[in-house]
Structure 1
Amino acid sequence: MEKKITPTSKTQKRNEMIKSAFDIFYKNGFHATGVDTIIDGTGISKRTLYKHFLSKEGLIIATLNYYHETRYKEIAGYIEKAVVENPVDKVLMIFDLLIKLVDAGNVNGCFAMNAKTEYAHKAAEIEAVCDLHINKLEMLVEKYLFEANITDSKAIATQVIMLFEGSILRSKAIQSSAPIKLAKKAAKVICSQS
């Protein structure tokens, strides 16, 4: 009997490939990970990989979209579920979540920032997806700063995200959440002076 492939199973297989490739890229980096490594890690054929993703870059974009969807949802949910009334305190919670992640052993940094660094000025489509992730985070921060009646909430949100990004890089380098705690203090000062 011939096995029927349903659209659901195709989507499921595609999602499994994305999640496996995501783990491999996150651990090893993008340039250091060849297609053969992905194939070995996912157990699929090269033909199947290229059927779902036209190129390695297409797969990278899919993993970046996966990261953005899951991480952004995690950050927004973390803030929304908190019983914190002050919108500035909600903004500062992005640092709290980051501290928890690093303290739990996630010291690989931000997947989108890693890709942006590796592909800077080399792959516009990859950079665009990375920028989307950071821009959405900045918009989330700006939303809460606006609710707090912070003057020039857009510029302050940019500064907070710069501290956030810098603390991610530094915490990755030293494998400690200490830089994130310092960045949170600096962000609190910036927000309180506005």
Structure 2
Amino acid sequence: MVKKSETSAKSLKREEMVKYAFDTFYKNGFHATGVDTVMEGTGISKRTLYKHFGSKEGLILATIEYYKIFMRELITNYINQEKKPIEKVLRIFDFLIERVEAGYSNGCFVMNAKTEYVNKASDIETSCDNYTAGLQNLLETVIKDANLPNAKERVIQIMILFEGAIIRSKVTKNADTVRIAKDAARILCQHK
């Protein structure tokens, strides 16, 4: 019985570290955030941090995984509130508009990680690519339900608009560009 509660406590501490690191990395960036900052914020020792994650890159991978899980659920639930396939696809832009307007204007956590670690940490890059592929697969399934031709190409075009809107909203700190990207995506979805 003691082992189960110890395991549970360790799991909670690990989760606390991941959430704190996620918030800190999102706010300050990956290279600008040192392990010492995470240790201070969570009250853990360097030894404990390395025991759980092995390295700073291991901690970053854990935060990316955390982001992938909760964001996948948020986006899927959000777009599935719509029944019409084309409107479902376009809802991803509405999701982004709401996020930006709620103050999440530091961009996409995964895109930020990919940018900071391009050609530096293949595990981080792969994890980021897997997130993007998952989002792309979700949109592709919805586009196929709309019976639009060239589904793969259309999804890539929509992804370009979506990712561009994320980057632009990070610069402008508002959702105007996201609305423009949504209008362009609507045009893409109307062409047979």
Whether TM exceeds 0.5 here: the answer is yes
Go from structure 1 to structure 2 and tell me whether the alpha carbon gap of 1:4 and 1:128 turns closer, same or farther (over 3 Å shift).
closer
**Residue of structure 1 aligned with 2:180, choices 147, 170, 182:** 182
Aligned counterpart, 2:54 = 54
TM-score, normalised relative to structure 1: 0.95
Q: Is 1:24–1:41's contact at 8 Å kept on the other side of the alignment?
A: no
- Post-superposition Cα deviations, 1:71-114, rounded to whole Å, max 9, x if no partner, equal 1110001112x1x3310100000000110010111101100000
Q: How does 1:70-149 map to 2 (within 5 A)?
A: 70-80=70-80, 82=81, 84-149=82-147
Measure, in 1, the Cα distance between the counterparts of 2:84 and 2:130: 27
Partner of 2:23: 23
Identity %: 52
RMSD of the alignment, in Å?
A: 1.4
Query: In 2, Cα distance between the equivalents of 1:36 and 1:176?
Result: 32
Give the letter for the 2:33 counterpart.
T
Deviations 1:5-27 (A, max 9, x none): 62111111111110000001000
Letter in 1 for 2:26: Y
Letter in 2 for 1:101: R
Match of 1:9 in 2: 9
Helix, strand or coil: the match of 1:6? Answer: helix
Displacement of 1:4 in angstroms is: 8.6
Matched letter for residue 176 of structure 1: N
In the TM superposition, structure 1's runs of 4+ consecutive aligned residues that sit over 6 Å from their partners are: none
- In structure 2, distance between residues paired with 1:168 and 1:30: 18
In structure 2, C-alpha distance between the alignment counterparts of 1:43 and 1:7, rounded to whole Å: 19
Cα distance between partner residues in 2 of 1:3 and 1:76: 36
Normalised TM-score (structure 2): 0.96
Cα separation, 1, equivalents of 2:3 and 2:124: 36
- 1:32 match: secondary structure: coil
Matched, 1:69 2:69: yes
Counterparts in 2 of 1:56 and 1:193: CA distance versus 1, 3 Å: same
Tell me the CA shift for residue 181 of structure 1.
Answer: 0.3
Structure 2 unpaired stretches of 5+: none
Whole-angstrom CA distance in 1 between matches of 2:121 and 2:136:
23
The aligned amino acid for 1:102 is V
